[in-house]
Structure 1
Amino acid sequence: METNKIKWGIIGCGDVTEKKSGPAFNKVPGSELLAVMRRDADKAADYAHRHGVPFWYTDVEGILNNPEINAIYIATPPSSHLEYALLALKHGKHVYVEKPVALNADEAKILADAVQKYGGKLVVAHYRRQLPLFLEIKEMINNGLIGNVRMVELRLWQSRSPALVTKGAADWRTDPAVSGGGYFFDLAPHQLDLMIYFFGMPLSYHGFSLIQFADSAVADQTRGTVVFDKQIVFNGSWSFNVASSDNVDCCEIVGETGSLTFSIFSNKVVLKNESGEEEFSFDHPENIQLPMIASTVNFFKDMGSNPSSIEEAVTLMQIIDAFATVK
């Protein structure tokens, strides 16, 4: 019998856990999903029944006081991430928390301090870092297939009801008290975290946001620039008020001898360089967070490094906060 098995409890078993993450906890060796918690008893019980989860709870203390559980996955909206992560760390549990890690950089810093205070382990669910597509892009960059990187141009333009958000999700993403700041806060962390993953910590960054739709409570237009080491310049443009026919989801990394063009939310990359042009396609896992969860389990078991640290997430939230300042 494995003595250091990671036994999980999920706080917030909503849409994102149905396929993207939830089933993966039982597919990773040395990992088991033991319990789920949701305030709605019927929904908690239904999830546990459908996914074969032994225990379900309607309050956070119940799941945290289960002595068999040694790791907590927080899959609630961002407004409760800090509260639940602090409680889990205080109870001596490892933590895997959805992105964005908190509502803002100040909350992220509090969480980083708590990880040090309680000696816990925490991973942020920037799961794209572990997908084959982005591992390959990072390798192409590191192997010099496009020469020294000069700049990155990213555009994410979507309609007011983006198709990229989780289907069936409530409108909490456009409530700044719950989400932090609209669709930008929901989607940009995936993109900006990958830039940190590819190029390291930024040297400087600045940006701004606008509310162009008069009835909106959150910004629908965002621009931002980041300068990384080796004078790599990132320019990002996010818009959530265009016609569906004008939707764009494109990232282009331009080097001195070629370029890589891909979508953060797709599965293909086009490499152009002196040898010509080639397209590479990758199959994402059925449960897309499985590779990140596998790396997280290894980290929790002292068998690997942290695949996405709270320190990196603090920097990410500082960039997001700078870009989200409404003019």
Structure 2
Amino acid sequence: MKKAHIKWGIIGCGDVTEKKSGPAFNKVSNSQLLAVMRRNGEKAADYARRHHVPLWYDDVNQLLLNSEINAIYIATPPSSHLEYAIRALKHGKAVYIEKPVTLNADEAIGLAVAVKQYQGKLVVAHYRRQLPMFLKIKEIIMEGVIGDIRLVDLRLWQSRSPDLVTQDASNWRTNPAVSGGGYFFDLSPHQLDLMLYFFGNPLSYSGFSQIQTPHGEVADQTRGVILFDNKVVFNGSWNFNVSKSDNVDSCEVVGELGSLIFSIFGNKMTLKNGDGEQEIFFTHPENIEHPMIANTVNYFLGKGTNPSSIEEAVTLMRIIDTFATVI
């Protein structure tokens, strides 16, 4: 994109944009949040007023027809991601899109085709890749501090109203037509994308889901295994039906010389090796997507590589679809 400045329009200025992402667009160099759009015009206007955004719309067509806007951030629920992303690409806009990138792998493949067809640029908001904590974890793995990696064990066990997500009246995350398939679809992209980021190409994977809760509409238990090209074995366990007292958010990476234990949604890492045991705490940015947005702006301006591509997201969605198969 031969632009000196990225001027953003947001489609869907809901909860995720209030602090995690929205304010960061004006904090990054060569970046400005110019407009927001929400179908509820009153809410769009309120967001624009509170965040000092110059323009607001209640019609996506008006947003996309604004020639000053050259990049679109899609922050709606997953069911509308594919439609909005393709429309933005058709209008020549670069796209930054929330996770999960689409409802399923087939839609992700369709989006990858559209990116090539319109010769566009698209970044998926797998923003944990750019947080200092996970950059440090990757550094430790790559430098062999705990030796060759043998296995990874991940557990995310939460109650039926997880503290990790915003609970609102509509609770679209448990509506499969809107979310793709419950809390697993909402939270696992963060975790599984990091596994791809750390360990590379998956050689094979298998898994299953089930609905344990009577009359449930979406799976509340998921299991999955990945074998990576480098022979690292990943085991994942997700439950969304346990007592709050049994909540777990843990990932353990075991190497030949030691291990790393950390929480995907926390800020502490424990390193164990021949030098003993060390706890390291990290402070996440005030706007947690800030580092990813900064890298995205650089990519859109032709100053860097894509920090999280649609091709990588296709692989991720294939894994998620496999794990999410209900038995």
Work out whether the TM-score is over 0.5: yes
Structure 1 residue 170 displacement after superposition: 3.5
- Return closer, same or farther for 1:314/1:3 CA change in 2, 3 Å cut-off: closer
1:230 partner SS: coil
Partner Cα separation in structure 1 for residue 3 and residue 183 of structure 2: 42
Q: Deviations over 1:270-326 (max 9, x none)?
A: 000011000111100000000000000000000000000000000000000000000
Two-structure CA RMSD over aligned residues (Å): 1.0
2:217 partner SS: coil
CA contact (8 A) 1:16 1:166 kept: no
Partner Cα separation in structure 1 for residue 156 and residue 3 of structure 2: 46
1:231 partner SS: coil
2:202 partner SS: coil
- Return closer, same or farther for 1:169/1:28 CA change in 2, 3 Å cut-off: farther
CA contact (8 A) 2:3 2:301 kept: no
Q: Deviations over 1:142-165 (max 9, x none)?
A: 010100000000000000000001
- Pair 1:173 & 2:173 matched: yes
Partner Cα separation in structure 1 for residue 170 and residue 295 of structure 2: 30
**Aligned counterpart, 2:285:** 285
Partner Cα separation in structure 2 for residue 273 and residue 170 of structure 1: 47
- What does residue range 19-168 of structure 1 map to in structure 2 within 5 Å? 19-166=19-166, 168=168
CA contact (8 A) 1:15 1:169 kept: no
Partner Cα separation in structure 1 for residue 302 and residue 112 of structure 2: 19
Structure 1 residue 166 displacement after superposition: 2.6
Q: Which amino acid counterpart does residue 316 of structure 2 have in structure 1?
A: L
Partner Cα separation in structure 2 for residue 214 and residue 62 of structure 1: 45
**Aligned counterpart, 1:213:** 213
- Return closer, same or farther for 1:121/1:169 CA change in 2, 3 Å cut-off: farther
CA contact (8 A) 2:175 2:182 kept: yes
Structure 1 residue 58 displacement after superposition: 0.5
Structure 1 residue 168 displacement after superposition: 4.1
Q: Which amino acid counterpart does residue 319 of structure 1 have in structure 2?
A: I
Partner Cα separation in structure 2 for residue 72 and residue 79 of structure 1: 17
Percent same amino acid at aligned positions? 73
* TM-score normalised by length of structure 1: 0.99
Partner Cα separation in structure 2 for residue 265 and residue 250 of structure 1: 9
2:47 partner SS: helix
Q: Which amino acid counterpart does residue 137 of structure 1 have in structure 2?
A: I
Q: Deviations over 1:68-97 (max 9, x none)?
A: 000000000000000000000000000000
Structure 1 residue 4 displacement after superposition: 1.5
Q: Deviations over 1:79-119 (max 9, x none)?
A: 00000000000000000000000000000000000000000
Unaligned runs of 5+ in 1: none
- Pair 1:265 & 2:287 matched: no
Structure 1 residue 201 displacement after superposition: 1.6
CA contact (8 A) 2:92 2:118 kept: yes
1:144 partner SS: coil
CA contact (8 A) 1:15 1:168 kept: no
- What does residue range 186-225 of structure 1 map to in structure 2 within 5 Å? 186-225=186-225
* TM-score normalised by length of structure 2: 0.99
1:7 partner SS: strand
Q: Which amino acid counterpart does residue 175 of structure 1 have in structure 2?
A: N
Partner Cα separation in structure 2 for residue 288 and residue 169 of structure 1: 25
2:34 partner SS: strand
1:45 partner SS: helix
Q: Deviations over 1:188-216 (max 9, x none)?
A: 00000000000112010000000000121
**Aligned counterpart, 2:10:** 10
Unaligned runs of 5+ in 2: none
The ranges of structure 1 where at least 4 consecutive aligned residues each deviate by more than 6 angstroms after the TM superposition are: none
Partner Cα separation in structure 2 for residue 3 and residue 140 of structure 1: 37
- What does residue range 217-236 of structure 1 map to in structure 2 within 5 Å? 217-236=217-236
CA contact (8 A) 1:272 1:278 kept: yes
Partner Cα separation in structure 1 for residue 310 and residue 251 of structure 2: 25
